[in-house]
Structure 1
Amino acid sequence: MLDKFQTLCHKVLNTVGGGVSGGGGMGSSFYGINIFSKESQDSDEVDSGRAASDFLTLRLKGRWFHPNISGLEAEVLLKERGIEGSFLARPSKSNKGDFTLSVRRNGEVTHIKIQNTGDFYDLYGGEKFATLAELVQFYMENQGQLREKSGEVIELKYPLNCADPTTERWFHGHLSGREAEKLILEKGKNGSFLVRESQSKPGGYVLSVRTDDKVTHVMIRCENNKYDVGGGRKFDSLSELVEYYRQNPMVEQSGTVVPLKMPFNATRINARGIDSRVKELTKEHGQPGVGKAGFWEEFESLQQQECKQLHSRKEGQKPENRNKNRYKNILPFDHTRVILKDADPGVPGSDYINANHITGEEDLGYEGKRYIATQGCLPQTTNDFWWMVWQEETRVIVMTTKEVERGKNKCNKYWPDNDTTKEFGKIVVKNINESSNNDYILREFSVLNDEEERKIYHYHFTAWPDHGVPSDPGCVLNFLHDVNRRQEDIPGAGPYVVHCSAGIGRTGTFIVIDMILDQIKRLGLDCEIDIQRTIQMVRSQRSGMVQTEAQYKFVYLAVQHHIETKSLQLGREYTNIKYSSEAAAGIDVAKSLSRSTTSLPTTPATTPRDPKRPVSAISLPKTNSENHLPRPPEDGTKTASSKKSSVGPSKSPTTPTSPTFPPPASPLSVSFPSPISRST
């Protein structure tokens, strides 16, 4: 029965253009075919349907996001390659920053608008979500929830794959063999690899790998939407091919193993060269006025990676905790949530608060600083908020929203007025002083629990506009500088508590900027930074962090402004620096790096690598910088020494090697459930 099912699935996949993918980008998938409901209830079929929960995540890792197509092109694609219930997501052409779901139904295509407010995604009303992936997941899992005004159900059944080869950062596009060799030999390590377009065979690709201080080039064929290396196993995507050969290294005819240990990434840049990178990312690709800038491309690539972050959020979904969430579907991941201690075991949910610990991955070079990202307080969560602050020994609270914006309550006032005292459960808070400037209000609280008293500082940033992002990154940098200086002056201070309204958009933006500035402070201007990867790391701990393309770009601009200011202030003590509201001029910036410029080195693994685990950066000793930068969060990627390697008899870049192949892994036996039917 299973063989019959697999054969049928394979037939349908080829018809619709789907496939199974592992590894990067959004992967690719076509799942959820309602086969069993149309068959007799054979016991084998029922058992196969029950097994589907194990593959729900795979089903949602499809490359259903198409970054470069119009509504008309989506209609053509769905009619040519789709079936009833096929769908894709794409950027909105009429409202920049929003998105559109295009669904094939009744032989036609329906387009559904998705709003991105900067705090959440929704369908202009209804359920709200932290990420586009979670929105799609919800409506795929809950058939019947998405309806037309007439009441007719719109079903999202079968993701339609994007034709792009991959959104992985190891893909360098148009890059010659000699350029690839130069980059990998100068900045990579043995095992560094990248994928590029073939210069000699349009439509093909080349895998360039550094092995034994030389570079091996392996031709990748693409025929009938299948990828292979001239023999052996065929794959539905470049991502799947690369991930397979990371686990099962190729072997040259000479017997040399070709290990793919670490991707040579394109978003990772030298900090000193950020000015050139920002200029490059600002350029439009395509026709003037209608092309997409590099910021958009990088952010959309990041959005597609969000499908990998479908961690469980069961605690926030429990009935007793639902009223503690400001937005119904913006919930903390279970594995990083803040658990309130000394909770009453007789009260269900008493240990719950919508907050996550945010820390840096040491193998990416981040260390030291810790954060808690949380939502704006609700009246019923204020006591829990203060207990969390006390429990975690927090001394600095960062608030990045006003209490009310655009007529909507964003955060309940959780502090007393100046010179007054208020009780919040066991915690007594006295507001002993308030001061302000153009950008923020500083409040000093005396906080008492039993006989113990602590001073806690509340930094309330008020310069963030109701729409978009601040026009001046300097105001945010000065704010973070003051916040960090305060934290450094308090020995043993616990994690920063950072919040906005939903606790993901502005909160994520402030945390990521702070992390990268801290990295530069510790490692110097010649360290390598990866803004996209840092956001991806933070999103693995709380979904949706850094919500919009504008916020993503603002992170770049803030880091750029910081580096420009520091470059001009070399020789002066950093703590005396204030950021100008105008960008510094006359900076000696490193030569512009194309999208194929830097590597992400990793420690060679001695055991097979989990394909779901991101590649780790090698941990190297700190470098001392004479200039002290604003104290940012605990995440800073460490630089890898980049020494030039002596090049032995390297193979010609135009002569790909002919690999031999280890036995392919046994295919998984899979089954799929019937779609959920739920009416509203």
Structure 2
Amino acid sequence: MALRWTLLLLLTPLLAVEEQEEPDPNNSGEPQETEMCQRPQWDSGLQLAPDQDNYKKNEEVMLSCPEGFQPSFTKIKCSSEVQSISHRKPVYREVWRGRDSRGGWVRIRSNVECIEVLQVVPGTLEISSTSIKLNWTCRLPDACQRMRATCRLAGPSSPPCEAEEVKGEETLHGQKGTFTCPPLQPFTDYSVTISLPPSTVLYTRLLRTKETVPDKPKKLWLDPSTGSLRWKLLPSCKGEIIGYQLNITTRSARDGSFLEMERLRLNSSVTEYPLPEHSPGSSYAEKFTCVCYSFSVDVCKLNTRIPVDELLEALKRFKRAEIEAEQTEDESVDRHGAGRLREYEQLSSTLLHPCDAGKELCNQSKNRYKSIIPYDHCRVVLQPSDMGNGYINASYMDSYRSPHFFIAAQGPLPGTVVDFWQMVWQEKTSVIVMLTSLVEQNKTKCEQYWPEQEQVYGDFTVTLSNTRTTTGLVTRIFCLQKAGCALPRVVEQFHYLLWPDHGVPRNPAQLLCLVEVVNKRVLEAPAGPVLVHCSAGIGRTGTFIALDFLLKMGKAEGEVDVFHCVQRLREQRVSMVQTKSRSLV
């Protein structure tokens, strides 16, 4: 009992002091503490007013910080509180108290710091070629009232890269949000500022929008006096121009067939190129009466990547640009160079590599279309046999991080069906994707290369084991047997019927499912390349392969790059993804 009373006696003064907001220095019943407090050793950026080394008890002191920062308390004062009891007398210590938002005084239990009022996390800053978007958080809500965000040109623009002034201004509300600058111009400097009235700047940065696909060189002409091809220097308005790529294609005047291709990369300062003579004593024009020229421009850090979660908005933006170009009355606007078409036109549509095998006289009848010939460096070469010389119009194609994942082929002709099955056997293909009907618009697009029951094609016997039909898709299971080989192989064909020639699928979702089914089959039973064909083996076939590539890229990186995907496919087979509408199904 005595111990309890002793503890109560010791704690009573402390409890009494705790209930008081301020110790009363005039209370004659308590020992007198010192009347002065030392300057607090807090954040070095804090500014105290008045600025002195010592302060009187209960003297109010104002705190401030550099621009863009706020102290956790704007008004403080020093007081005393009981630290302990010694010899039945309280021992005092000096403490600092700060005024809270309700006007009350509370003890400051940690250092007072200059806090950045507005926080913009660098990783959340999103910059594209036409917009700047930043996510902001206010760390001191009381200090963030009436914040305004502005977006302005960083400086005056000058010809030939004149940029329109923007009037992006917005009042920010709440503790967090997103500020987006209005439509901007590529490769241009803008100043983004968030401030408090009248003139307190909380955040300001100079930002440059990203590069985009450049315009094509203008005023291209052939100088007859020098035999040089000339063009006007392209300014770096949409990105840094690091050079020009010049493709010179020569074709025969007799039948229009491809003769040769010269591909050059020229310095950005070059504005003319002398066309070479192809034989002694004869000019370029004398030897080849029909010459085609095509240009593409390389841009430093060409940005055509689109985040997956912004893909729908990108499609809408492309479509709006196309509609606006169609509806404009400005004759200087290229109506056919807006939206997706603008990017699509930057792709090379000519032959990029030699294709000598396909041009040989003995192989020309094996090409369904004269201009669609596989490149020599990536064509499928059949093993020599009594039935042929090893040529087939088919190309190895890469998918995302998967070399030779596909074979892109033309639809078989009556004379190439045996070659087709030889390729399936040689390449150990277990999945065929057919994207054309046998006949479309009264034109034969593909020879029927499979039997209704069983048929022999050269050294190969093909047996139709099973057929399953759903809306727009026929799945056939074949048993493939080669003469002299004991074990047959199973080949599955997916015949998709809802994709018109030179058009887009009627049910894109079903096509996406087909891509996933094909990949599932490959995972279940790894074999050779997936064989994809339509009629020419470039349009629908190219789109299917690009779709597989981009789906895998989107899952792995969170971004897709349609432009560079198609560009890469065209390095392996001419004119892959044949129309603009297919470039983004």
Q: TM-score, normalised by structure 1?
A: 0.43
**Structure ranking higher on relative contact order (CA contacts 8 Å, 6+ apart):** 1
Q: TM-score, normalised by structure 2?
A: 0.50
Higher helix share: 1
From the CA coordinates, give the structure whose radius of gyration is larger: 2
Higher strand share: 2
